[in-house]
Every structure is written in C-alpha cells, then in structure tokens.
Amino acid sequence: MYDVFQTDRLIDLWLTEDIGYCDLTAQLMIEAHETGAFYMNAREPLIVAGIDVAARVFRRYDSTLDVVVRVKDGDKVDPGTVLLDVRGNARSVLTAERTALNIVQRLSGIANLTAQYVAAIAGTRARLIDTRKTTPGLRMLEKHAVTCGGGLNHRLGLDTGVMIKDNHIAVCGGIAKAVQRARRQLPVLTKLEVECDRLEQVSEALEAGVDVIMLDNMSVAEMTRAVEMVGGHVQIEASGGINLTTIGAIAKTGVDYISTSKINQAAVCVDIGLDDAE
C-alpha cells in the first residue's frame, strides 16, 4: 500500500524531469485540438504492479483524460493483455506516456522477480521479505511491488523497527548492553531484532531477550544449528548471499524469514507498450 498524496508529489517530479519546459515533439507535430485513443498492453508474461500509479500519471498531467484500468495489481497476465485504456487530448497522452510506462515497467519487474523467489521456497515455512536497499524516492512503491509478487515487507524505514547491527553492538560494548539500551525506551509494540554472524552471538541474543534474530551470511550448516539452538522461542531471519540458487537450501533449514535485496536491485523492467487503439 502506498500513500496517494506522496505518490502525486513523486509524479510531479517525474513529469518535470521528463518534460522540462514542454514536449517539443508533441507541440510541433500535433494540433492542440487533436484527440486519440491508446491502450497499454503487456508484451510478455508478467505480474502487474503499479498500474494505478501509471493511470494516475496520465490524470495528473491532464485531468480531462479518460483512463480506464483493465487489471489490478498482483494479476498474472499474458502477452497482449490490455492493462489500461487512455483517451483524450493526443498531446497530453503522448507527453505523459513514457513516465507512465517507466513506473509500471519497473514495479512489475520487481513483482515478477519476487514471485520467482517465492516459488523457490514454496512448501517450506520460510517467508520472503525485502530490505531497505531500494531506489531512493521509490521505497513505498517498490515495497508495494514486492507484495504484488507475494513477498512481505521488512522495515519500511528506520523509524518502524529496531535492528541492532554489528556497528551498534561495537559502540555499545556487546549484544547484552545494546539490547538493554534499546529496551529502555522501546515502544511496547515494536519488535527488537539483532544481527548475528556467529553462533555464539545467537546464544547471547537469546539470553538478552530479543524478538527476532537475523543470521547474517551464515552457512547452511550454521543456520541449521542456529534454528536448533533457538528452538522456536524467537523468530529467525536469514540474510546475506541470498539468490535463486541458494534460497531453497536456506529455506529448508527452518528459518522463519529470508530477506534479500536482490528482488529490488536485480529486477529487470518488463516489456509494456502504449499503442494506438484506432
């Protein structure tokens, strides 16, 4: 889910970046009164994400445009599927076209890759979650795309959870002291997670009373041992070195969550086009 107000602010930035002072080509070649009908279509199999944002781009640029969305986010569609129709002033449609396509291609690419990772751990208890390694300015939309592909969101930002990492531990002088400091003013419904890269730290984190333990860059054998040590008392997240080749074995260790930045950083934009409907 994303905030419409914040999305409109982003759209204004995107349109300003792409258009500059004017769409020179449209101004020179298309008469101000000319109208057109166009449809946005999938050119490959994909999972839709961001289609309402794409529609909002057209409406934001020209509120007189008639935009009809034909699918919904999370839908799996085949090549040739019409995602939306847009009719009205031809200059406006062609000026906003690239911005609308860019965002839905990017977000659908993330949803596609996320779905591949989710499929790779099907049948295990593990759930796929994302990270904060997102494109600056696009976090909420990219995290929304992850959910369209069947994944879950980790922290939305630094203010939505406590993650004690190696540098925090170093500054505080150990896991126990770091957890103690955090617990002093931790909001009662906020979870506290500690990153561990050694099995000894897993024991320390358990004794300190954390809510979630992250196993950072551990081997499959170490993760399996960590799951045994924890015994279901707290939730376990595996992170580091996660890809489509490694995620299956990691999921079978019994961890609760597997986080990876790959679903955002390695996603390839899908092929979507805007064609003349007449």
Write the DSSP assignment of 210-273 as a string of letters: -SEEEEES--HHHHHHHHHHHTTSSEEEEESS--TTTHHHHHTTT-SEEE-SHHHHT-----EE
Task: State the catalytic residue, choosing from 59, 98, 132, 181.
Answer: 98
Position 1 scores a pLDDT of 60
| Catalytic residue from among 133, 155, 225, 252 | 133
Counts of helices then strands in the chain (DSSP H, E): 11, 12
Predicted pLDDT at 268: 97
pLDDT at residue number 2? 67
**195 catalytic, yes or no?**
yes
The span from the CA of 175 to the CA of 181, in Å, is 10
Tell me, yes or no, if 165 is annotated catalytic. yes
Indicate the helix (H) or strand (E) that contains 231. none
216 is catalytic: yes
Domains of the chain by start residue, with CATH: 4-117+267-276 (3.90.1170.20), 122-265 (3.20.20.70)
Ordered mean pLDDT values, 10 residues apiece, the chain (278 residues): 83 97 94 96 98 98 98 98 98 98 98 98 97 95 98 94 94 94 92 96 96 97 97 96 96 98 96 91
- What is the reported pLDDT for 92? 97
Residue 173's pLDDT is: 94
Token digits of residue 84: 């939306």
66 contacts 87 by C-beta, under 8 angstroms: yes
Residue 278 confidence (pLDDT): 67
202, HSE (Cβ side, Cα atoms, 13 Å): 24
Contact 202, 230 (CB under 8 A): yes
Q: Which of 59, 70, 127, 165 is catalytic?
A: 165
- Active-site entry in 97, 193, 216, 256: 216
Q: What is the pLDDT of residue 46?
A: 98
